[in-house]
Amino acid sequence: MGNRFYVVKEQAVPEVLLKVVEAKKLLDSGRAHTVNEAADQVGISRSSFYKYKEDIFEFHEHSQGTTITLTFQMEDEPGLLSDVLKIIAQFGANILTIHQSIPINGVASLSLSIQVLPTTGDVSDMLEAMEAQKGVRNVKLLAKE
C-alpha cells in the first residue's frame, strides 16, 4: 500500500486518531513537553501516539499554499452565491475559478477552485460555514493540488 490520502469528516475518524492529533497540538503549543505527558493528557498510550503520529493530521495543516476544488449544490436564490463567496473571503482564501450550471428545478451545481494562502483560516471551518449557509448543500472537496 502506497501513500494514498483520503479526506474524511471528523465523525468518521476513530477516536484514537483524533486523540493523536490533539496530542500533537499539545506538543506543538508547549502545553505538553513530552510525548508521555501529551499522551496522558489526551488518554492514549505512547505506543498509539507513535504508531499514528505520521499518518494523521488536520486537513488545514497540509492545505496552505495549495489549490482546492470544491463542488456543491445551491438553491437559485438572489444573493446566495455572493454570500458563499463572502464566506471564502472572510477566511482569506483566493477564488480562482467559478463554474455554475444552469439551475434545474431551482438548484444549480457549482464547482470552485480556491487558492489556500498561508494567511487563510482553517479550511475545514470554511467548508463547514459554507455548508451551514441556508440554501447550500453537499459541499465536497474534489481535489487538492
Polymer length of the chain: 145
pLDDT at 4: 61
pLDDT at 107: 96
Question: What is the domain partition of the chain in residue ranges?
Answer: 10-57, 67-144
- Average pLDDT over the chain reads 86
Of residues 50 and 98, more confidently modeled = 98
| Contact status, residue 52 vs residue 42, Cβ threshold 8 Å | no
| CA-CA-CA-CA dihedral for 89, 113, 82, 58, to nearest 10 | -50
Question: Could you tell me the strand order of the sheet in which 136-144 lies?
Answer: 94-100, 107-115, 67-75, 136-144
Q: At the topology level of CATH, where does 67-144 sit?
A: Alpha-Beta Plaits (3.30.70)
- Output the 3-class SS for 91-134: CCCEEEEEEECCCECCEEEEEEEEECCCCCCCHHHHHHHHHHCC
Distance (Å, rounded) from C-alpha 122 to C-alpha 137? 20
Whole-model pTM: value is 0.59
pLDDT at 21: 86
pLDDT > 70 fraction of the chain, expressed in percent and rounded: 88
In tens, the pLDDT along 33-77 reads 888 999 999 999 989 888 888 777 666 555 556 888 999 999 999
